Structure 1
């Protein structure tokens, strides 16, 4: 049990910065809406969507390759660190230079011709993100979860405080809403025509500050550009990079297809753009599941590579996956039966009509988390090309089902397509894994816990209790039933001293 406790502790440490960071960034959303017109906010979202795509290209999937090769017998971790980081420094400077060189045609191609300065800043941000990824990976490899989380939190706080300073304090002083006497001073650093630019500039400065925060890791670097050494790492990593591209399709394409394929008048009070807004707003509540998965991934990836060398590691992997599902199924259950209490996060009543997609998206993301657990087998056996096939299969399902379902179901079709995609990926990964790297997953128990959670959600949906207190007591009681059943079914294992 000590191994599991260690994983849980590291997951909590890694997750802290992510959870707080996403929460604080979510709270910035109404601040931005008070200043930016919809088209301005569209520029921000549009450009950062491209950042997500190019971030995969800049890192080449080398984080996972770094873990894999660092855990090989007799691996010289310092030499590996030197060569991987040197390669990413070289490639990031090269890619950023190409973007800056061809920034004019690129800006026209992505339909942001007036945002060349911001695109240039984002190119530098991409380079920094890629370069610091390996020092961060080294912290994870060395189980320095506290330092990892501390640096991530520092980056988040700098970003959030700078945004509050510019977009709340400086904005209001400049508008003479308060402290008007400070306006001459504020006018030297706050320029209204720069209102979009500050977001990108703050991001750039916060990312630059990561370098001194990681200085101990960078100071150990001995620059060593060795392309022959990198060939097996890149051969291992490129399928992971392709998986990342397919993941972007799975994550973002439904919004684009919803905009293009939704029949006119499908929602009487919404345009197609309005429907995308409702779907995107409700999708935010699936973030609670995403946070749990992301926190687990930070701790889980180095854990799986390290444990692969330990006797009975397959049993440990099965145990970890079972408890991952137990915890995520509870998150799925708790949010789904208490949806009305999460309405305040959506801010506007116009979003409430789309809340039916939230349980479906929560379950979809749960299966995505299961897929990440199961994917350990092809990373440990150097068969990462299976991950590419599975991811592209998922992307095909996403495209086909969205095309078929959106005209009939609207944004509910997007949600069902997402669930089908991630369930299919998890199932395919399990079936291939049992052939090439058998792990004794307790499939019956895992399926049983998911069925239990879904059954309790259906009970909350179809048993209507008008009284507010009675309804909430019933919903909390359903969550209690889940926890009690878990306790009694898993009690023997909980009492075993390991």
Structure 2
């Protein structure tokens, strides 16, 4: 079981990590090429779009996995019903929002760039349609196809960005088809818009790549109205949780841009991207483990596997946390331009917050498999309230310190994790006191090591090595079992 899970996770990791490596390479290029206020515009558009994507998702990815593995479920009917729901929602969104482009761009402060919003509406439309076909690949154990599509997608986007930026300084290029495309793109947008255009084309390319799945597996006659209602009832609470997550992740950047300055937001957003290294670890883990969680839910030993895998997730997450924070200066040097470094104190805080979120995501399996996703909605709303509280302090009381929103992210996700654990322990989790003590000890030890590294930077490598030796000794038996 572990062997197959590990192999699939590695393959998914390739398809997931390679595009992120490319994105981090572009992060260095963008932070060097753009002024901080220009980079702020770039990150702000993505922050705004994530809010919309959270709504449009309707929690259908998790819903698909849940209904797929229910007793007596028909896989083709579940898939067709989910895709048709998603297509109807996305099409309705596109028609309405395209007609409101100028109004919405003016409200957001982009009245000179309505084309940004048109491109993002199309990106969101294409991407949401692709969600369930990509989930179908995961559910049907096709990690190679999943990874190939992801890699092709990022290569298309990268090629277009490089080509458009190279030609931005070469207005008399050869009269090729690509050159005329560049001239056309330049006629309606600027260099920031080049990135959005490249993203839009790669998202369209992604849609073409998964089109065979849609044509082969989706038919209107397989649409089940009763199933559709049940899927929506199950998915809407998850959607609320997704929107809450989008608010927790993006409200700080949206407010810093509009309340402090684009320069500060540019620095904050760039350093925040370094902190999202932890999100990479979480996402890689989820790609391989989430379908397994739902498949295993029928077995008598399901709880044991959930707890053991969650324990290992925390253990490796903390090792990852210490290694990244211990070498943060190296990452900063290679990934973002020096003028953005003023916000680097947020990185350990945001990373730990993201680890809390990852543990929360693992533990949230309990309310999904008992068909009570509304529990997640309630807990997510608690997180949002805490986020609003910290950001209100940031706006009305503070001296505009960007550390307050960072601490808000950590507190929000930490509170959500504690509430979920207390709630789930009464109904689902069986973590023994020894495991809980070990988990708390590992968290405190990792935080202590990172604190010491920050105080004694010259001993960074020694402290990291000491941490790895001690953890390996304490968890020797568990590591040996994992290797076997």
Does the TM-score normalized on the shorter chain lie above 0.5?
yes
Sort the Cα spacing of 1:37 and 1:119 in 2 relative to 1 into closer, same or farther, 3 A: same
Give the whole-Å Cα distance in 2 for the aligned partners of 1:40 and 1:357: 21
> How do 1:417-496 residues align onto structure 2 when only pairs under 5 Å count?
417-440=408-431, 442-463=435-456, 471=458, 474-496=459-481
- 86-95 or 37-46, which deviates more: 37-46
Structure 2: unaligned runs, 5 residues or longer: none
Partner of residue 199 from structure 1, selected from 187, 195, 220: 195
Give the whole-Å Cα distance in 1 for the aligned partners of 2:180 and 2:278: 43
Matched residue of 1:112: which SS? Answer: coil
Give the whole-Å Cα distance in 1 for the aligned partners of 2:408 and 2:116: 34
C-alpha contact 1:282 1:346 (8 A) present in aligned 2: no
**What residue number does 2:390 align with?**
401
Partner of residue 292 from structure 2, selected from 288, 303, 312: 303
1:31, distance to aligned residue in structure 2 (A): 4.1
Q: Deviations over 1:401-437 (max 9, x none)?
A: 2333671681222222211111111111111111121
Superposed CA RMSD: 2.6
**What residue number does 1:413 align with?**
404
C-alpha contact 1:330 1:479 (8 A) present in aligned 2: no
Partner of residue 359 from structure 2, selected from 351, 367, 370: 370
> How do 1:309-388 residues align onto structure 2 when only pairs under 5 Å count?
309-345=298-334, 347-388=336-377
Q: Deviations over 1:361-420 (max 9, x none)?
A: 111111111111111111111111111111110111112123336716812222222111
Sort the Cα spacing of 1:383 and 1:453 in 2 relative to 1 into closer, same or farther, 3 A: same
Matched residue of 1:209: which SS? Answer: helix
User: TM-score w.r.t. structure 2 length?
Assistant: 0.90
Q: Deviations over 1:95-134 (max 9, x none)?
A: 2112223333333333333433443333232222121111
1:189 aligns with 2:170: no
Q: Deviations over 1:174-210 (max 9, x none)?
A: 3xxxxx7737887533224443443333222222222
Give the whole-Å Cα distance in 2 for the aligned partners of 1:38 and 1:234: 42
Partner of residue 222 from structure 1, selected from 211, 219, 223: 219
Give the whole-Å Cα distance in 1 for the aligned partners of 2:73 and 2:473: 44
**What residue number does 1:28 align with?**
26
Sort the Cα spacing of 1:198 and 1:401 in 2 relative to 1 into closer, same or farther, 3 A: closer
Give the whole-Å Cα distance in 2 for the aligned partners of 1:101 and 1:299: 40
Higher relative contact order (CA 8 A, sep 6+): 2
Sort the Cα spacing of 1:30 and 1:485 in 2 relative to 1 into closer, same or farther, 3 A: closer
Sort the Cα spacing of 1:430 and 1:409 in 2 relative to 1 into closer, same or farther, 3 A: farther
Matched residue of 2:194: which SS? Answer: helix
Give the whole-Å Cα distance in 2 for the aligned partners of 1:121 and 1:132: 17
Give the whole-Å Cα distance in 1 for the aligned partners of 2:385 and 2:30: 35
Give the whole-Å Cα distance in 2 for the aligned partners of 1:102 and 1:230: 29
**What residue number does 1:45 align with?**
43
Structure 1: unaligned runs, 5 residues or longer: 175-179, 263-271, 465-470
Sort the Cα spacing of 1:167 and 1:360 in 2 relative to 1 into closer, same or farther, 3 A: same
Larger of the two Rg values belongs to structure: 1
Q: Deviations over 1:77-98 (max 9, x none)?
A: 1111111112222222222112
**What residue number does 1:86 align with?**
84
1:39, distance to aligned residue in structure 2 (A): 6.1
Give the whole-Å Cα distance in 2 for the aligned partners of 1:285 and 1:65: 31
Q: Deviations over 1:62-87 (max 9, x none)?
A: 11000001011111011111111122
Give the whole-Å Cα distance in 2 for the aligned partners of 1:35 and 1:113: 24
Aligned residues: 473
C-alpha contact 1:173 1:182 (8 A) present in aligned 2: no
Sort the Cα spacing of 1:14 and 1:39 in 2 relative to 1 into closer, same or farther, 3 A: same
Give the whole-Å Cα distance in 2 for the aligned partners of 1:229 and 1:330: 43
Matched residue of 1:182: which SS? Answer: coil
User: TM-score w.r.t. structure 1 length?
Assistant: 0.87
Sort the Cα spacing of 1:258 and 1:216 in 2 relative to 1 into closer, same or farther, 3 A: closer
